[in-house]
Chain A
Amino acid sequence: MESSAVSLRGIRKEFGSVVALDDVTLDIERRQFVTLLGPSGCGKTTLLRIIAGLETPTAGDVYFGAERVTHRPPQARPLGFAFQRYALFPHLTVLENVAFGLKVRRVRAKERRRRAMEMLELVHLPHLANRLPSQISGGQAQRVALARALAPEPSVLLLDEPLTALDLAIRTAMQEELRRLHRDLGTTFVYVTHDQGEALTMSDRIILMRAGEIAQDSTPFELYRHPSSLFAATFVGEANVWVARAVDDAADGETCRVEAASLPRFSGRAVGAVRRGAAVSYVLRPQRITSAADAGVPGACTISATVTDVLPRGARALVLAATSGPEVRLELEAAEAESLGRGAPLTLAWHPADAVVFPEESSDADSSPVVTSEAETTTV
């Protein structure tokens, strides 16, 4: 615990009869860029606010390093906070805003100015020093807010969906900007977002949350390649999800055969113990399916399909194909997809190791099983 920047032990938060967080325990290492990712209502923002001290947990403790800070107010914690809507003080200039944390710490005026200007240079906005918050754009405001939060040199920076209110173009630029700041300053970043693309791009580590609990805690690559639950598989990245029945018993990691209505039997990698005859979800990413021309690999799963639609996406394209079973989504190179018209026949192939079999959980009833994920579509 001493080496971590922030530690949480058994955090529980109730709002009346609603349980927002249920027994959350985690350690955040120094200098890490950690993202709390999840759908609305999963508790990620609440957790962030508890770390900040803006909320008090119903049970559990918060530690900054070795110190227990659970009941300390935000001003007594060595942190900075970036708000979704910037929260710049409207009656102060940009420079005064950035210098606010220093003023509160009784830093002398000249020194304050110097350090505030330094921060503004860091975010490339020194020319806005004398403007009022009402006179700058959203992207600029967010950068000023970051400068303000970082000026007192906190050991941890907490960010609450800071890019959600910005246009897409600015958002992408800001993501790189945040990454750069993190690299240059070495501050621990704890970032909250519902945008899985954003999380995958920026983080060292992603903590996926759902209904007040941690669903998975791993690196972006790990999360994408080896989701530990159906929820993780469908929330991050796109996926084809088929309802099927297991043919064999399989332990975690073993190959498992499944059968789905009107489809031949397929194999996949089991995640968690699977019992023969149990209902399972067969999950396959669109990026892992190829058209038959490339499928010379022995042991590949194949299925014949007819193209229903082709949706261009820049360098690649999404192809929707109808099969004897459910509709399949696959991604192909644009050149290849271009030649496909509606009704064109297609043979789809994938390697069983790329498909994942999840045993059905009772909570899977919430996530939509047979429809592919509606989460932000980004290719990784």
Chain B
Amino acid sequence: MRVRSILLGAYVSIALAFLLLPVAIIVLFSFNSGANLSFPLRGLAGHWYGTALHDPKMVSALENSLIVGAGMLAVVALVGTPAAWAIARGRFRGRGLLLATIVAPVALPGLFIGIALLTFFASIHVHPSLRTVVVAHAVYTLGFYVVIAAARFSGLDAALEEAAWTLGAGRWAVARLVVWPLVRPALFAALALCLALSLDEFVITFFVIGAQNTLPIVIFSNVRSVVTPEINAVATVLLLTSWLSVGVAALLIQSSARRRRVALAEFVEVGG
């Protein structure tokens, strides 16, 4: 039993290294003072970040990524929240089907979603642009958001709403005073995750974007042609923005959980 445990630990360590190594190397190279893309490193410097930030193409790509992200968040929040509520609380026939349709894009290769949307837009004569990218990202991340939001809604005790009604609160007051404060952290966390996914998204974006670029697309075209060293800096920036979003999400979830835990600890101390 002990041997098995040690083996498992060793395996997991190797697996972790496997997962982190490639990414770590990119981050490492972004600080390379030399222009080479292979080892050994010439020295540590941060000047590639400077180059990247002054490159107009990079900057506009970053802007576009953020614009798309913001737009997508708005769409997902507006469409996804009522949908998640309906799925969690509703009792209508097509509930399972609705959920399946929303979640489907998550399981399908970006290829299919990309060309599906591309042909769709073509057939309704909408030209590819940042707007189509917003729609595409929304379709893709909606599945994640709705699943998380619906789970949170289901976990909300229905008795709380009933209690609020019996105390005289109308539906809007209940939503505002009871439901919203309780689901807020989870919903924001879900949105943060969607943002991370949107920033990282390349496969679908490639199909539906027009002449502009988002960050991953810029990296792609760079990689395909001549690789300039600043690409490492750009890639690291992309990584950091995604990780930042995930970090925010984790913090949101942790803080609400911690509040409950602290309250419980205080309770135990006081002795009930």
Complex contact flag A–B (Cβ < 8 Å): yes
In the complex, what residues of B have CB within 8 A of residue A149's CB? 166-167
Is B267 a contact of A87 with CB atoms below 8 Å?
no
Is B267 a contact of A104 with CB atoms below 8 Å?
no
Q: How many A-B residue pairs have CB under 8 A?
A: 74
Is A152 a contact of B264 with CB atoms below 8 Å?
no
- Range for the number of chain B residues in contact with chain A: 20 to 34
Is B178 a contact of A83 with CB atoms below 8 Å?
no
Checking B166, B167, B182, B263 against A134 with a beta-carbon cut-off of 8 angstroms, the contacting residue is B263
In the complex, what residues of A have CB within 8 A of residue B169's CB? 75, 100, 104
Is B166 a contact of A74 with CB atoms below 8 Å?
yes
* Listed residue (B159, B160, B182) with the most chain A CB atoms within 10 angstroms of its CB: B159
Q: How far is the CB of B50 from chain A (nearest CB, A)?
A: 46
Is B168 a contact of A87 with CB atoms below 8 Å?
no
B272 contacts A by Cβ under 8 Å: yes
A135 contacts B by Cβ under 8 Å: yes
In the complex, what residues of A have CB within 8 A of residue B182's CB? 90-91
B79 contacts A by Cβ under 8 Å: no
Given contacts A52-B166, A80-B167, contact A134 B264 (CB under 8 A): yes
Is A104 a contact of B162 with CB atoms below 8 Å?
no
Cα(A80)–Cα(B167), bound, Å = 6
In the complex, what residues of B have CB within 8 A of residue A101's CB? 167-168
Checking A54, A88, A135, A137 against B165 with a beta-carbon cut-off of 8 angstroms, the contacting residue is A54
Cα(A149)–Cα(B166), bound, Å = 8
Listed in ascending order, the chain A residues whose CB lies under 8 Å from chain B are 52-54, 73-75, 79-81, 83, 85, 87-91, 100-101, 103-105, 132, 134-137, 148-149, 152, 158
Listed in ascending order, the chain B residues whose CB lies under 8 Å from chain A are 157, 159-160, 162-170, 173, 177-178, 181-182, 260, 263-264, 266-267, 270, 272
**What are 27 A-B interface contacts by the 8 Å CB criterion?**
A52-B166, A53-B165, A54-B162, A54-B165, A54-B166, A73-B165, A74-B166, A79-B166, A81-B162, A83-B159, A83-B163, A87-B159, A87-B160, A87-B163, A89-B164, A90-B182, A100-B177, A103-B177, A104-B169, A132-B263, A134-B260, A134-B263, A135-B263, A135-B266, A137-B272, A149-B167, A152-B168
Given contacts A75-B167, A80-B166, 9 further A-B contacts (CB under 8 A): A73-B170, A74-B166, A81-B166, A90-B260, A103-B177, A104-B177, A105-B168, A134-B263, A135-B263
